[in-house]
């Protein structure tokens, strides 16, 4: 009888394990659901076919995306003349006064990363479903009395770009689905930590655009708990991220 009861208990446990979803799969499904909702709230399919132009820190940017193909341009004038950078899926070209400029590989990488970064942040949270992105729901937390999902984002080396080692935290409003805050660590130019608070949200052409107050910590901190410092007013404003003269046109 004792052996029968042991066998029965084992059988019931086995059935329970087989009928219950794997916890890791459940967590993966949940974080994907949160990100999908955030992208939908911020613009959804509008991101996939977009013709966008804006000014940022004295430079003019344009971004055309359609069916996975993209063309990003950056235009400005400096001491060398009228500069135009054109970045496509598989190429980068710089012209100065309409003449193509030959550049060393390290400069091409730097300019490519710079343009990609500006467009990437302007279109967030759209990029969070890129194949190289790894997402993990860490916790549910409160920022200024509002509940948020706290999501960790890292990148695979393949397809993750030059800065694939950067780590991010995204805070998604549990009620509205909007991405109201994010934070990141970076290694370029000596490295550092930033925390951004979204301000001035507005919808243009069906896409939600946001500006940001860019904060930095004072001294060494635990990056993974940076929202606690923000809640306590212990982060220092570093800069403002403001997009101006935004235009969204039909392709």
**Domains of the chain with bracketed CATH:** 24-249 (2.50.20)
- Taking only the tens place, the pLDDT of each residue in 121-142 is 999 999 999 999 999 999 999 9
β-sheet bridge partners, residue 94: 85, 101
Whole-Å CA distances, 42 to 163, 181, 183, 209 = 25, 14, 18, 8
- Return the minimum-mean-pLDDT range out of 60-64, 164-168, 180-184: 164-168
Residue 5: φ, ψ to 5°:
-65, -40
* pLDDT range class, residue 157, cuts 50, 70, 90: low
- Taking only the tens place, the pLDDT of each residue in 199-234 is 999 999 999 999 999 999 999 999 999 999 999 999
Say yes or no to pLDDT of 6 above 80. no
Tell me how crowded residue 215 is: count the other CB atoms within 10 A of its CB.
21
Q: Are 196 and 173 in contact (CB under 8 A)?
A: no
What lies within 8 Å, CB to CB, of 201 at 6+ separation is: 178, 208, 209, 210
Rounded CA Rg of the chain: 22
- Taking only the tens place, the pLDDT of each residue in 56-104 is 999 999 999 998 899 999 999 999 999 999 999 999 999 999 999 999 9
Q: Are 179 and 159 in contact (CB under 8 A)?
A: no
């Amino acid at each position: 009888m004792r052996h029968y009861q042991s066998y029965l208990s084992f059988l019931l446990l086995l059935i329970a394990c087989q009928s219950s979803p794997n916890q890791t799969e459940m967590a993966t499904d949940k974080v994907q659901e949160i990100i999908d909702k955030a992208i939908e709230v911020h613009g959804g399919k509008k991101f996939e076919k977009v013709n966008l132009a804006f000014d940022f820190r004295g430079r003019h940017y344009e971004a055309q995306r359609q069916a996975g193909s993209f063309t990003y341009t950056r235009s400005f004038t400096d001491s060398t003349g009228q500069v135009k950078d054109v970045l496509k899926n598989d190429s980068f070209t710089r012209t100065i006064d309409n003449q193509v400029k030959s550049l060393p590989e390290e400069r091409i990488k730097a300019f490519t990363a710079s343009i990609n970064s500006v467009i990437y942040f302007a279109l967030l949270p759209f990029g969070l479903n890129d194949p190289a992105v790894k997402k993990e729901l860490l916790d549910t937390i409160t920022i200024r009395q509002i509940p948020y999902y706290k999501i960790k984002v890292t990148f695979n080396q393949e397809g993750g770009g030059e800065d694939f080692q950067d780590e991010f935290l995204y805070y998604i409003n549990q009620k509205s689905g909007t991405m109201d805050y994010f934070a990141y660590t970076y290694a370029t130019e000596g490295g550092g930590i930033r925390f951004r608070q979204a301000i001035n949200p507005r919808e243009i052409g069906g896409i939600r655009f946001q500006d940001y107050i860019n904060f930095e910590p004072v001294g060494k901190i635990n990056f993974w708990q940076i929202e606690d410092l923000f809640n306590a007013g212990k982060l220092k404003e570093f800069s403002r991220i403001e997009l101006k003269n935004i235009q969204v046109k039909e392709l």
